[in-house]
Amino acid sequence: MKLNEHQSKLLLSEAGIPVPPGVLLDRSQLEQVSFPFPFPVVAKAQVLAGGRGKAGGITIVPSHQNFFSRVAPLFDLTIDKESVPLVRVEQAASIVREMYLSCTVYRAGRSILLTAGKHGGVDIESSEPKDILSLEIDPICGLHDYQIRDIFFHYGLEKKHWPEFLRIVSALHRQFKTKGLLLAEINPLVLTGDEQLLALDGKVELDDNMVDIDHDQARFEQPEHRTRQENTAKQFGLSFHTLGGFVGLMVNGAGLAMATMDCLNYSELPAANFLDLGGKADQKAMRAAFDILFTDPGVQVVFINIFAGILSCERVAESMLAALDGTPPAKPMVIRFAGNGDRQGRALVRSMGCADIHLVRDLPEGIATLRTLVTPPADLPDFLRIEIPEHKPARAPKKSANPTPFPLSGTSRVLVQGITGREGGLHARLMQEYGTSITAGVTPFKGGTTCLDVPVYNTVLEACRDHRFEATVIFVPPALAADAIIEAADAGIPWIVCITEGIPQHRMLCVLERLQRSPSRLIGPNTPGLIVPGQTKLGIMPGHIFTPGDVAVFSRSGTLTYESVIRLSEAGIGQSVCAGIGGDPFVGQGFVNLCQRVRHDGRTRAVLVLGEIGGTAEEELAQYIRESGFELPVLGFVAGQTAPAGKRLGHAGAILENGTSGIRDKLTTMHEAGITLCPDLDSIPKLVSDRIS
């Protein structure tokens, strides 16, 4: 969650960082305002976009007589497509020098960076590399005094400024770490005419996962910066963005939602929005989703595409019927159910007997049905399909002379952490029904009981005294999940599968640092799990869609995994192992690690990688393939090709950052490494078959 400047400065000042005194105003307060500080003042438009200064969003007001005439026009501005709901007015400062200072979570380096620029303000954009100093901060040990000295002498400040500088940098890092921030930026940090250091401007980004845990951070919410639809979605835990087309989109899971969005956009049925239900399809959330879609004048028809794993199609249908309350939908709906509870879900929808609700079997039938229900406008958005280079001639998959089987099988003994919880108990039972050897469970204060005919222990350590485990599956709340991962690693369990979504990024950085000293291997978090078809299932994947075979499937998305696997299975192509690496920015085993595990598996003859926009997991795999001479054919599909830059689509990892090289370079890098690119979901079975035949 991005904070505006006023809220950012409030958070900085609470840490003891000096900021100019200021007040926040809306338009109605302009004519009756008084200030606890003298003129001249500076009025600043409060938006979450950049480029405010160049757009005329900052003005100096020399006296009270000029105030209304200078400040009122700020509310009429549009800055990078954002209106101005609020203005901060603060005491003007005399500036001798401007510098740049920030703490940020650095996704590519899996680290925290403290960055200092000799020049601040707008000049930071044109700084020479030698003027920028970036230091990695240990996520466990924290900031060292010598690093603060490095920055102080980089700035070239005088000795008399050291005590205040030490306090400011220490306070910035302390607040950054305590609040679990993603970004804490002071730009500029100024030296004033009276020799004081002052945070003249600030930018802070909160981790949404941390806000859910530390409820005090919710006070920084500024609903004025969001539309009514966005506020409704946020209230009910839905991921929502307006996109501008005419097909209202409701999907579960970011990967499938992005792939569906791409499919609609490339089919001249552009999506009006991105709406990811996630696992929150209760009646209230469904009512909110329908309110968003049905009241949008641009939406002609609604497409609901659900491939259920942890979510049940039956539950979605029940929530949908309750939300409609026996009345026909306000707009035609096309519904596709697959996965967990799909038959029951379809039966419930049919029971409505509504002519405006159309059930379809799959995504292609959904597209065909949508075409019959809409009248496309003449000015369709132009989504040029990214040209996928033709795949290279297939080479016969090489078999290893000394095969090393994948380390998990039907005989692997499995622990379930959180087995007595609702989700843990449900999916432990489904894992048992699949054939997984659930040996024990852990729930604090439930030790000595049984669940699903297996013993329950208070701690992992207690369970490991009585049993030997090859793997553990974690179903615990986000606030406890990082600790649960470390607990399993410290107990020496070889494979850790963390289903939990919503772990703060700071905590995951500490987990990954700790795991570097452990032989345990982590799948996830925010993963559907891992399955060896026909043998064992660790997680929430709907087991009936998988068939034993010789293609390994590794993915950043659960629902995208299901969508691809069912197409492979229906084409007679089985799978050797399938794993979701997780949808978060920081996860355990990546594409490279898992490809190393199947490289000499003996059963695996090809690898299918299902990627997404954002991050560098696909590029890292391409580099590994080039440098290692990886013997198996690798195919890749990337969802989100039509996504707008800077939007977080569903989970935290699915974001195409502004200023990155973009999806085209990602695909080019993969192709140049010899990865066969699949242009769409429909092409996957044929291309996989070509590579293994």
* Percent of the chain's residues with pLDDT above 90: 72
* Percent of the chain's residues with pLDDT above 70: 95
Using CA atoms, how far apart are residues 213 and 211, in angstroms rounded to an integer? 5
506 is catalytic: no
List pLDDT tens digits, range 56-85. 999 999 998 889 999 999 999 999 889 999
pLDDT band at 653 (very low <50, low <70, confident <90, very high): very low
Q: Which amino acid is at 459?
A: T
8 Å CB contact between 403 and 602: yes
8 Å CB contact between 685 and 573: yes
Measuring CA to CA, which residue among 654, 564, 656 is closest to residue 609? Answer: 564
pLDDT band at 657 (very low <50, low <70, confident <90, very high): very low
Which residues are bridge partners to 357 per DSSP? 333
CATH architecture type of domain 247-371: 3-Layer(aba) Sandwich (3.40)
Which residues are bridge partners to 185 per DSSP? 102, 203
- The whole-chain average pLDDT of the chain stands at 91
pLDDT band at 659 (very low <50, low <70, confident <90, very high): very low
Where are the domains positioned within the chain?
Answer: 21-91, 95-220, 247-371, 413-692
Measuring CA to CA, which residue among 521, 505, 492 is closest to residue 407? Answer: 521
Q: What are the strands of the beta sheet with 41-46, ordered from one edge?
A: 22-25, 86-91, 41-46, 58-61
Q: Which of 401-405, 558-562, 591-595 has the highest mean pLDDT?
A: 591-595
CA dist list (Å): 347 to 286, 305, 309, 523: 18, 16, 18, 35
Residue entry with tokens 């049984």: 450
The H helix count followed by the E strand count for the chain is: 20, 32
Query: How many residues does the structure list for the chain?
Result: 693
The number of angstroms, rounded, from the C-alpha of 540 to the middle of its chain's C-alpha atoms is 19
Q: What is the token pair recorded at 392?
A: 């290279």
* 107-116, 383-392, 666-675: the lowest-pLDDT one: 383-392
Q: What is the token pair recorded at 243?
A: 């996109």
8 Å CB contact between 645 and 241: no
Secondary structure (3-state) at 404: coil
The DSSP annotation for 451-466 comes to ETTEEEESSHHHHHHH
The residue annotated as part of the active site, out of 6, 427, 600, 651, is 651
Using CA atoms, how far apart are residues 663 and 678, in angstroms rounded to an integer? 14
List pLDDT tens digits, range 336-347. 999 888 999 999
List pLDDT tens digits, range 595-633. 999 999 989 999 999 999 888 899 999 999 999 999 999
Topology (CATH level 3) of domain 413-692? Rossmann fold (3.40.50)
Measuring CA to CA, which residue among 11, 6, 9 is closest to residue 175? Answer: 11
Q: Could you check whether 247-371 and 413-692 share the same CATH topology?
A: yes
Could you tell me which residue, 416 or 33, shows the higher pLDDT?
Answer: 416
Residue 210 CB neighbour total at 10 angstroms: 22
Does the pTM surpass 0.95? The reply is: no
Q: What is the token pair recorded at 452?
A: 């699903």
pLDDT band at 400 (very low <50, low <70, confident <90, very high): low
Identify the pLDDT of residue 676.
95
List pLDDT tens digits, range 110-158. 889 999 999 988 777 778 889 999 999 988 889 999 999 999 999 999 9
**With 60 as the cut, is the pLDDT of residue 690 above it?**
yes
List pLDDT tens digits, range 426-474. 999 999 999 999 999 999 999 999 999 999 999 999 999 999 999 999 9
Topology (CATH level 3) of domain 95-220? D-amino Acid Aminotransferase; Chain A, domain 1 (3.30.470)
**With 60 as the cut, is the pLDDT of residue 650 above it?**
no
List pLDDT tens digits, range 186-237. 999 999 999 999 999 999 999 999 999 999 999 998 899 988 999 998 888 8
What's the rounded mean pLDDT across residues 574-581?
97
Using CA atoms, how far apart are residues 323 and 326, in angstroms rounded to an integer? 8
Using CA atoms, how far apart are residues 205 and 526, in angstroms rounded to an integer? 21
Q: What is the token pair recorded at 690?
A: 């070509």
Using CA atoms, how far apart are residues 546 and 122, in angstroms rounded to an integer? 54
**With 60 as the cut, is the pLDDT of residue 245 above it?**
yes
DSSP 197: E
Q: Give domain 21-91's CATH number out of 3.40.50.2000, 3.40.50.720, 3.80.10.10, 3.30.1490.20.
A: 3.30.1490.20
